[in-house]
Structure 1
């Protein structure tokens, strides 16, 4: 079971690098702590375009998840500015969450539908409402983990 989970995570991290672009992520990612080291080296804002394209995310929703305004997001991409470390980490965590959600729920389309459903385990909030608050991604990930293990959520 542990080896299977490790392999599943490795596959997801390799997929994450492929989706976001090897141009932006120049090293292997083996665990979520590697997000910090990659982000600390600097990541250009152009990576946001790959993120949006990979999951068909509108610019306004991407800006909302990163807790910035839409004009700021546009300007960062246009100038190909280096993202501050915390924004890059947030983007990596969101990508990882979305890939995990696709695995658990079965498809990207169904995962994003699930993200818009009020959930009693989240106090009646929609999972997508938690993506831009501290620890929100972890709460959604934990909920998906429970679903993955067949625990009623």
Structure 2
């Protein structure tokens, strides 16, 4: 359901510099996903995120998020627990199931938070692909496939933000 609020069309993948001026966490998440038009819903609260999760995101957001993360579609399919072949069969406008949508939203929150903490998309993505001591010399990217993993990465980002060695 669209609200009467003006729909913002901001796409992080196409206009990363616009992202840095966005103060609202929900607008940042929508930007990561490709903008309000791609998401198909205005997001102003966690309730809106729940509605989107139940409805499903279009397959096209997978392409957007994989582009931001700098990963292949095979890796994205592993992160959201859907076979690569299933993703290939879907049209861009077809909706993903609740579980895949929820995981993509979790990943979008991590991306948003990571850019906020690291300062740039490039710095955050480079960090995601590095082996991190606090993760047993594993890459943060490899923890984005579960809600517990995304929470762990957000916690580490919070520690980094506050200057705690992580």
Which of residues 122, 125, 135 is equivalent to 2:148? Answer: 135
Aligned match for 2:88, one of 62, 74, 77: 74
| 1:109 paired to 2:122 | yes
Structure with greater helix share of residues: 1
Give the alignment's TM-score, normalised by structure 1. 0.78
1:30 offset after TM fit, Å? 2.7
Work out whether 1:40 is the aligned partner of 2:54.
yes
Change (3 A) 1:70 1:42: closer
Distance in 1 (alpha carbons) for counterparts of 2:78 and 2:94: 18
Change (3 A) 1:42 1:115: closer
Residue 28 (structure 1) aligned with residue 32 (structure 2) = no
Show the 5 A alignment for 1:45-124.
45-76=59-90, 78=91, 80-124=93-137
Q: Following superposition, which runs of at least 4 residues in structure 1 exceed 3 angstroms of deviation?
A: 52-57
Q: How many residues in Structure 1 have an aligned counterpart in Structure 2?
A: 144
Supply the RMSD in Å over aligned alpha carbons: 2.4
Provide the rounded CA distance (Å) in 1 between the counterparts of 2:43 and 2:142: 30
